[in-house]
Structure 1
Amino acid sequence: MSNTLTIQNINFSRKLIQNFPYHLVAPSPWPINVSFALLGMAIAGVMSMHGYFLGGLLFTLASSLTLFGMSFWFKDISDEATYEGCHTKQVQRGLTIGVLLFIVSEVFAFLSVFWAFFHSSLSPAIEIGGVWPPQGITALDPFAIPLLNTMLLVSSGAFITYAHHALIKGNRKDSIYGTFFTIILAIVFTGFQYLEYSEAPFSISDSVYGSAFYASTGLHGFHVIIGTIFISTMFFRNLGYQLTKHHHIGFESSILYWHFVDVVWLFLFIAVYYWGCN
């Protein structure tokens, strides 16, 4: 009996030893769960916009399922990195490349909305009066909420950079404070963005100006929310002593994503708010 247990323990130990630096991901239900939840969220969102019965309820349900799946997916990845030792240097390099390629794809997503904006603004069609902004559209003051949001977002980028450098130096306390203030500024930014939408004198259906404005700023606002969740996840991982000065690839990925959000906002402020209102 003891010999059998010994052999079983040896076989189990061999399974834990890898002869290669790569990570073979174990079967997980969360990718397919999140995929169908996102599909349901898209369909329910369209239903809600067109006034279909229970469209709003289905959208809320699909959104909840998406957050549920992503939460457990994030937890599994954190466990792989922290407790299972699966994120070797080679794996971390691959994750960094993956995040960079993802950000490149996001650049082209914003390139499409900027293309639409400049296509309509540089040569206004006769149907909108041949001017930009179109006749009957009162543009927002760029030096009101947009300027304030610019200061908030740039400040948040400075705080998250400070938090990163503090973690590298082993100053966990300052890293936590820097990340916390970044999250607060991001939430305040989102609140002011909602306030701006509530008080805007035009809607998304008001000519091409409204469509281009809400498509660009709304897409950016969605990315701010995703970035806030990303950084918040790293904040709680830091509280749980899961980040070290030598191993914090998730934190670095969230910082790269947040700086991308910062840079896109600067282009939005200059092009859509300042230049686009004159």
Structure 2
Amino acid sequence: MATHQPDYFVPHPSKWPLVGSFALFFIGLGAALAVNSVGLGGYSLALGFGILLYMLFGWFGDVIRESEGGVYSKRVDLSFRWGMGWFIFSEVMFFAAFFGTLFYLRTISVPELGNMEHKLLWPDFTAVWPTSVAPNGTAPYEVMAPWGLPAWNTLILLTSGVTLTYAHWGMMKNNRTQLKLGLLVTVLLGALFLGLQVYEYAHAWGHMGLTMASGVYGASFYMMTGFHGMHVFIGALMLAVMLLRSNKGHFSAEHHFAFEAAAWYWHFVDVVWLILFVFVYWL
């Protein structure tokens, strides 16, 4: 006889919010000490991140056990979907601020600095993007060409979206082999993307003279691509957890929101990279 699922699930009292508060306290304290060159800053940061990892494993573990235990109703599932949707929207706004900054630099700031009024201050400055004149006291740098490693990374991320969809199709058909194979290839493609981005950074920094101090072009390049790389790492970690759960027999065609949430996030990361490739590398 099927048990009745209430419309709303009320969890038991949890220690994890308090544990998370301690983690954030030590992270904030460590960051403040570290930027002021206080020796205990690094230890406080390490302690904070250690507590944060403990909280993440424990809290998500509780949610997974509750989900697999069948205590979540359709209404609770809907609330999870809304929560993930708003989270991704906040990430859209996060990157929108960066793209807005890039728009301001390219269409307002750089042309303004190149007008006749500013020629007296910076006579060698040319109002073109990417800026080609290094700031005073820094070495010249080269801009990043799009049709090399960035294009390969674009192909890798686009392919990972296809393999993730392949995994999703496998789950909807209850084909566990297709599900696990698609997830495995997607995670490996994400790791390959990150490895190539590290190589790109090392080459740009060591051989092209392109550093964070290379004017507004260098700063915006590393800021935007670096934050995107962090999101790729988080997305690949989420999909790796989905792979581990799939190996344990979790998910079915009717019950798989965690997989869908990770897939939404990964497709969002793909779309952001396409926009980055066009406006940071290509145009």
Bin the TM-score by the shorter chain. 0.7 to 0.9
Q: 1:273 to 1:32 in 2, by over 3 A?
A: farther
Alignment match, 2:93: 108
Alignment match, 1:80: 66
Q: Which runs of 5+ in 1 are unaligned?
A: 1-16
Alignment match, 2:232: 224
Q: 195-204 or 45-54, which moves further after superposition?
A: 45-54
Which residue of the other structure, out of 254, 272, 277, is the alignment partner of 1:269?
A: 277
The whole-number CA distance in structure 1 between the counterparts of 2:25 and 2:214 is: 28
The whole-number CA distance in structure 2 between the counterparts of 1:194 and 1:45 is: 24
Which residue of the other structure, out of 45, 52, 55, is the alignment partner of 1:69?
A: 55
Q: Which runs of 5+ in 2 are unaligned?
A: 114-121, 135-140
The whole-number CA distance in structure 2 between the counterparts of 1:166 and 1:160 is: 10
Q: How does 1:208-247 map to 2 (within 5 A)?
A: 208-247=216-255
Q: How does 1:1-278 map to 2 (within 5 A)?
A: 20-45=6-31, 47-48=33-34, 51-83=37-69, 85-123=70-108, 124=110, 125-126=112-113, 129-134=126-131, 135-136=133-134, 137-200=141-204, 201-275=209-283
| TM-superposed deviation, 1:177 | 0.6
The residue type equivalent to 1:95 in the other structure is F
Deviation readout 1:9-34 (Å, 9 max, x if unpaired): xxxxxxxx767321112222223323
The whole-number CA distance in structure 2 between the counterparts of 1:59 and 1:231 is: 26
Deviation readout 1:152-182 (Å, 9 max, x if unpaired): 1111111111101100111011100100111
Deviation readout 1:195-218 (Å, 9 max, x if unpaired): 212222322232222221122111
Percent identity of equivalent pairs: 34
Equivalent pair of 2:158/2:270 in contact (CA under 8 Å): yes
The residue type equivalent to 2:185 in the other structure is F
Deviation readout 1:214-270 (Å, 9 max, x if unpaired): 221111111111111111111111111121111001000100010000000000000
TM-score by length of 1: 0.85
Give secondary structure in 2 for the equivalent of 1:148. helix
Give secondary structure in 2 for the equivalent of 1:91. helix
The whole-number CA distance in structure 2 between the counterparts of 1:239 and 1:75 is: 16
Alignment match, 1:7: none
Q: 1:40 to 1:121 in 2, by over 3 A?
A: farther
Give secondary structure in 1 for the equivalent of 2:251. coil
The whole-number CA distance in structure 2 between the counterparts of 1:22 and 1:233 is: 26
Equivalent pair of 2:174/2:252 in contact (CA under 8 Å): yes
- Aligned CA RMSD, in angstroms, stands at 2.0
Q: 1:56 to 1:151 in 2, by over 3 A?
A: farther
Q: 1:32 to 1:189 in 2, by over 3 A?
A: farther
Give secondary structure in 1 for the equivalent of 2:143. coil
Q: 1:98 to 1:153 in 2, by over 3 A?
A: same
